[in-house]
A and B are shown apart, each in its own frame.
Chain A
Amino acid sequence: MAFLDNSGDIILDAVLTDTGRFRLAKGDGTFRIVKFALGDDEIDYGTYSRNATTELKGMTVLRTPVMEAFANNAGSMKYKLLSLTENTHLYLPVIKSYANGNSAKFGSGTAAKYVVAVDKSTVDEIVGTTQLLTTGVLNGYQPGQSDHLIIMDQGLDTGNISQAEPLDSQLRETQYSINMDNRLGAPVQPTGTGSPSSATVSFIDDDNIATYILSIGTDKNYISELPTTIDSSLGLTSISGPVGTRLAFRIQASTSLRTNNYLFTVLGNTGATSIGNMSSYRYIDSTISVTGQTTGYRVDVPVRYVKKI
Chain B
Amino acid sequence: MASIYKTLSSNDITTVRDLLHEAIPLTASIVSGTYGDNNIKVYENDLFESVFDYPYLSSSANHIFDLTAGVSNNSPLSGAAVAASLDPTPKINIYNEMAQILAGFDENGSVREFDRDGDLSGGEQLREVFVVNFARLLTKDEIKKQSFTLQVLTGGTVTSPDSLMTISDYKALTQYKINSPAGEYGILYTGSAATAGTGVGLIYYQAGVAILTASLFDGDAPNYIGPNGANSSVAADNFETSIDLFSSGSISGSADAFRNRLYNISFNNTIEINSTIYFCRANNNEFNYSSNPTYLSASQIVVKNDPQENPLAYVTSVGLYSADNELLAVSKLSHPLEKNPTDELVLRVRLDY
Name A's B-contacting residues (CB within 8 A). Answer: 8-17, 19-20, 23, 30-46, 48, 50-51, 57-58, 61-69, 73, 76-77, 79-85, 87-94, 156-160, 170-171, 177, 202-203, 205, 211, 213, 241, 292-298
Contact = CB atoms under 8 A, between A and B. Distances in A.
27 contacts: A10-B348, A13-B350, A16-B328, A19-B328, A20-B328, A23-B322, A23-B326, A34-B323, A35-B8, A38-B282, A41-B292, A43-B336, A48-B303, A58-B314, A69-B317, A76-B317, A79-B291, A82-B288, A82-B290, A84-B2, A87-B311, A87-B341, A90-B304, A158-B299, A177-B325, A205-B326, A295-B291
A119 B298 CA distance: 40
B319 A36 contact: yes
A121 to B, nearest CB: 38
B311 A89 contact: yes
Contacts of B17: none
Contact of A295 (B4, B276, B300, B331): B4
A92 B336 contact: no
Contact of A41 (B3, B317, B331): B317
Nearest to A67: B332
A12 B347 contact: yes
Interface of B: 1-8, 13, 276, 278, 280, 282, 285-308, 310-339, 341, 343-352
B280 to A, nearest CB: 5
A51 B329 CA distance: 37
A73 B326 contact: yes
B74 to A, nearest CB: 47
B350 A38 contact: no
B285 to A, nearest CB: 7
Given A45-B292, A81-B4, A31 B338 contact: no
Contact of B317 (A10, A48, A77, A202): A77
Contacts of A11: 348, 350
A202 B6 contact: no
B292 A43 contact: yes
Given A8-B344, A31-B322, A85-B285, A17 B302 contact: no
Contacts of A30: 322
B295 A14 contact: no
Given A16-B328, A62-B335, A89 B306 contact: no
Contact of A33 (B282, B305, B317, B321): B321
A36 B279 CA distance: 10
Contacts of A85: 1, 285
B339 A81 contact: yes
Nearest to A87: B341
A272 to B, nearest CB: 34
B303 A12 contact: no
The 3 residue pairs across chains A and B that have the minimum distance between CB atoms: A296-B291, A20-B328, A39-B317
A17 B331 contact: no
Contacts of B313: 38, 40, 81-82
A13 to B, nearest CB: 6
Given A12-B350, A17-B327, A36 B321 contact: yes
Contacts of B13: 33
A10 B325 CA distance: 24
Contacts of B3: 82-83, 294
Given A77-B317, A90-B300, A92-B299, A37 B285 contact: no
B325 A213 contact: yes
A211 B325 CA distance: 10
Contacts of A293: 4, 325
B287 to A, nearest CB: 4
A13 B339 contact: no
A62 B313 CA distance: 11
A213 B351 CA distance: 28
Contacts of A57: 303
A32 B326 CA distance: 10
B314 A296 contact: no
B8 A158 contact: no
B301 A91 contact: yes
